[in-house]
Structure 1
Amino acid sequence: MPLLVERGYTIEVRRLDRGDAVPDQLSTDDVLVVMGGPMGIGDLERPEYPFLRQELQLLRRRVAEDAPVLGVCLGAQLLAFAAGAPVHAMTQDDGSRCYEVGWAPIRLHPSGAADPILGGLPEESPVLHWHGDMFELPARARRLASTPRCPNQAFQLGSRMFGLQFHCEVDEESIEALLRADADFVTLASGSGGVERIRQDTQRHASLSWGVGPRLLRNILDAMTRSVRGCA
């Protein structure tokens, strides 16, 4: 993640889907970033995803320690679940399955103009969505963002844990990689024209999203750092 490099962090990437081990020794000041994947909370018992249970155990320890975590997409769902919140499939009023895949605006919920996470950001901003499950808010968590279809889009738990259901870390190259790897899911969620629609919307929304997303992530990293300094 370029922003972590910008802040001087040493980055260690673990590809759990390729057999890398879930870390078991982390400092309470290490920043843990948990990203997404095609699996979900409903796959915890599937033998092909043994790392999901291990991730969950690690996140439960991080929640108990109020240690810095950024969960994105599945990572946000795992963090919410580790904190005791339900995670379930998205459905419409009639009970039918639905998804949020593609570009759509989120609404932010700042606590005021001086909000350290959301202050100065636009009230609404287009972001990339890529999910069919959603989390409920953990107890004592603060809601940061929502959409009409998915009211819990982002949350802050404690002083140093954040979950983002949407993707504000992406660029055009990574979006293309997602489209190549997950075209079947896009078609399932959005129909046969879904892939091309995302490409077109990326061109339309990129300039605004590339400004808002990095600023939100910087604010989150700043909050994690302030919490460390405040304890010194």
Structure 2
Amino acid sequence: MHAHYLQHVSFEGLGSIETWLRDAGYEITNTRFYEAGVLPSIADIDLLVIMGGPMSVNDEIQYPWMDKEKKFIKEVIQSGKPTLGICLGAQLIAASMGGDVFPNSVKEIGWFPVQATKTDSTTFFQFPKEIPVFHWHGETFNLPEGAVSIAESKGCKNQAFQIGDSVIGLQFHLETTPGSAQAIVKHCRDELVDGAYIQREEEILATPQEQYKAINKLMGKILEYLHTRKG
């Protein structure tokens, strides 16, 4: 089995996803768009993971590789391969499939709860009724045609969505570990300004280990869900 991930900046890697993939027996490769940006053959991968980043999906002039990335994501989804997008990755899925990405009314940075929107569904991935998760985003999106909301929050309506049974987009970060939280704070602390849904650096980094373990466990459940749909 071969999992491939698309990485946009050096400080937003797989986090807890890497441990899950290795334990499940996946070979892992990546495309680092901040370096060479070479994409694999779609036929050679079984699972695609699209990571986050501080840029916008609308920054194609500044990041010319983004148009190529969107086309690749769309082709992977149309091929039926399981696909997971995280934060910018979810926005890239939405944009690739025809949705619009635009600034949210507020930025969400830190630990805030999301709520399940499909609590009685057996068709879609089932989120807990409510769980605190790690956020770092200022944009949102319209759901593309065929997508179904599976989680929301008070600060941002479209927090998670699913397309068919093999594509999931998460506006938030379930892969976050204490180390990856420290890394994003280090590189993006200029965004930690006063806001209704923006925590202080000390609050973010004081999060107990149990909270990281809870989101990493949920990330594992999503990966298991997609793994069983790899065909």
Q: Which residue, out of 56, 61, 67, partners 2:75? A: 61
Q: Which residue, out of 159, 164, 169, partners 1:153? A: 159
Residue 191 (structure 2) aligns with? 185
Contact 1:187 1:195 in 2 (8 A): no
Q: CA 1:77/1:141 → structure 2, altered by over 3 Å: closer, same or farther?
A: same
Please give the secondary structure, in 2, of the residue aligned with 1:131: strand
Give me the whole-angstrom Cα distance separating, in 2, the residues matched to 1:191 and 1:132.
10
Unaligned 5+ residue runs, structure 2? 1-17
1:13 and 2:58 matched = no
Residue 218 (structure 1) aligns with? 220
Q: Which structure has the larger Rg over C-alpha atoms?
A: 1
Give the share of equivalent positions with the same residue, in percent.
32
When the two structures are superposed, what TM-score results if normalisation uses the length of structure 1? 0.83
Residue 53 (structure 2) aligns with? 37
Residue 117 (structure 1) aligns with? 125
Paired residues, number: 214
Residue 96 (structure 2) aligns with? 82
Give me the whole-angstrom Cα distance separating, in 2, the residues matched to 1:43 and 1:190.
26
Give me the whole-angstrom Cα distance separating, in 2, the residues matched to 1:108 and 1:185.
28
Q: Which residue, out of 177, 180, 185, partners 1:174? A: 180
1:4 and 2:4 matched = no
- Quote how far apart the aligned CAs of 1:85 are: 0.8
- Quote how far apart the aligned CAs of 1:80 are: 0.7
- Quote how far apart the aligned CAs of 1:219 are: 2.8
- Quote how far apart the aligned CAs of 1:27 are: 2.2
CA RMSD of aligned residues (A): 2.3
Deviations 1:86-135 (A, max 9, x none): 110112xxxxxx211111000012343756622xx531111111000011
- Quote how far apart the aligned CAs of 1:7 are: 0.8
Residue 43 (structure 2) aligns with? 27
Contact 1:143 1:152 in 2 (8 A): yes
Deviations 1:150-196 (A, max 9, x none): 11101111221111000010111110111111111223767997212
Give me the whole-angstrom Cα distance separating, in 1, the residues matched to 2:199 and 2:227.
43
Q: CA 1:16/1:147 → structure 2, altered by over 3 Å: closer, same or farther?
A: same
Q: Which has the higher helix share?
A: 1
- Quote how far apart the aligned CAs of 1:40 are: 0.6
Contact 2:134 2:172 in 1 (8 A): yes
Q: Which has the higher strand share?
A: 2
Contact 1:144 1:155 in 2 (8 A): yes
Please give the secondary structure, in 2, of the residue aligned with 1:21: coil
Please give the secondary structure, in 2, of the residue aligned with 1:228: coil
Give me the whole-angstrom Cα distance separating, in 1, the residues matched to 2:199 and 2:87.
23
